[in-house]
Amino acid sequence: MQPRIDQLLAQAKQKIQSETAQLDAELLLAFVLNKPRSFLRTWPEKQLEAEQLERFEALLKARQEGQPVAYLIGHQGFWSLDLAVNSSTLIPRADTELLVEAALELVPEHSLQVLDLGTGTGAIALALAAERPLWSVTGVDRVAEAVSLAQQNAKRNQIHNARFITSFWFAALKQQRFDLIVSNPPYIAADDQHLTQGDVRFEPSSALVSGADGLEDIRLIIAHSVAHLNNQAWLMLEHGYDQAQSVQSLLSAAGFQQVHSRRDLAGHERISLGQWIC
């Protein structure tokens, strides 16, 4: 007799070493069954077919080894979107929605040019484009596979006011200027112990690590952004929980006004921003 859904979930929860073990197990099993998570609670007595059980056990083993659930099932929710993900990009995280919230609050709704640097899956760019149909959003990434994935996600979510191009930061943008620049750049120091823990072990290091102090890319973005910002435009950056004061200093030194940081749900200052006044 094959095990029931409720039995499988109980066993899987004990095996997964994660703070989100229950959620992880439900996402993996729902993926195998090609059903929503609500199905698992509605039909707890349902037994899996042999092939389904084999697939679930293989995914469970991969998760036990530390592989991120999003990579295993191929998608991740962000803002109001469902995004395809793969190992060429970071997995979109809820903390990054703080950038979206700040942009929607501070930047006018009328027709504007917006840039997302290091777009990855296209999460930030597509969330902004979805909320502001009058904005023209450009997302850039140095990794061609990431650009292709972002383009797929635009089609997946039927968003037509966002485009994606391959570029190392501003390199391919020539003299283009924008009314808003947002970025979730690499901001982890090369020797940070967190790089050997949890899901980030499986994510691309080029999207995580930024020099000895984690600020190398942020320095570059701030320095070069002034040539690409219109008057009264905003620059908004995600960074590490302990980097707010350093990023604020960099923004102020570059001539930005109204420099401040905003806190995430855990109370950490996770984004810093400033306005460019020509």
Q: What are the tens digits of pLDDT across the range 102-114?
A: 999 999 989 999 9
Q: Tell me if 70 is assigned to some domain.
A: no
**Higher-scoring residue by pLDDT: 83, 204:** 83
Residue 251: C-alpha distances to residues 219, 220, 244, 246 (Å): 9, 11, 11, 9
- Residue 71 in any domain: the answer is no
> In this structure, are 223 and 124 located in the same domain?
yes
pLDDT attached to residue 179: 97
Contact (CB, 8 A) for 240 and 187? yes
Whether 126 and 245 map to the same domain: the answer is yes
How many Cβ atoms sit within 10 Å of the Cβ of residue 232?
Answer: 13
Residues 107 and 146 in one domain: yes
Distance CA 114, CA 80 (A): 19
pLDDT at position 256: 98
Residues 245, 213: Cα–Cα separation, whole Å: 13
Q: Do 110 and 246 sit in the same domain of this protein? A: yes
Nearest CA among 233, 136, 229, 120 for reference residue 175: 229
Does 221 reside within a domain?
yes
Kindly indicate the confidence band of residue 260, based on its pLDDT and cuts at 50, 70 and 90: very high
Residue 106 lies inside a defined structural domain of this protein:
yes
Structural domain boundaries enclosing 194:
82-276
**76 domain-assigned:** no
Tens of pLDDT along 59-101? 889 988 888 899 899 999 999 999 999 988 888 988 999 999 9
Residue given tokens 């469902």 in the structure block: 82
Same domain, 30 and 157: no
Kindly state the tokens that stand for 244.
């707010």
Same domain, 124 and 11: no
* 52 plus 90 within the same structural domain: no
* Residue 149 and residue 57 in one domain: no
Paired strand residues for 238: 271
pLDDT of residue 212: 63
Average pLDDT over residues 175-187: 92
For the chain, what is the domain count? 2
Residue 18 lies in a domain: yes
> Cα 83 to the chain's mean position, in Å?
10
Same-domain status, 90 and 127: yes
Confidence of residue 19 (pLDDT cuts 50, 70, 90): confident
Measured from the Cβ of residue 100, the count of other Cβ atoms closer than 10 Å reads 22
Bridge partners for 275 per DSSP = 234, 257
What CA–CA distance (Å, rounded) separates 254 from 265? 29
Residue 201 above 60 pLDDT?
Answer: no
Question: pLDDT class for 133, splitting at 50, 70, 90?
Answer: very high
Structure confidence at residue 46 as a pLDDT band (50, 70, 90)? confident
Q: In what order do the strands lie in the sheet with 178-183?
A: 162-166, 136-141, 113-117, 178-183, 229-238, 269-276, 257-263
Do 188 and 256 belong together in one domain? yes
Q: Given the DSSP bridges, would you call strands 75-78 and 136-141 parallel, antiparallel or unpaired?
A: unpaired
Q: Is residue 72 part of a domain?
A: no
Task: Let me know if residue 104 belongs to a domain.
Answer: yes
Can you give the CATH number for the domain in which 54 is found?
A: 1.10.8.10
Residues in the chain: 278
Please indicate, yes or no, whether residues 107 and 182 belong to a single structural domain of this protein.
yes
- Would you tell me how many other CB atoms lie within 10 Å of the CB of residue 245? 11
Among the candidates 32, 65, 98, a domain finishes at 65
The answer to whether residues 58 and 126 belong to one domain is no
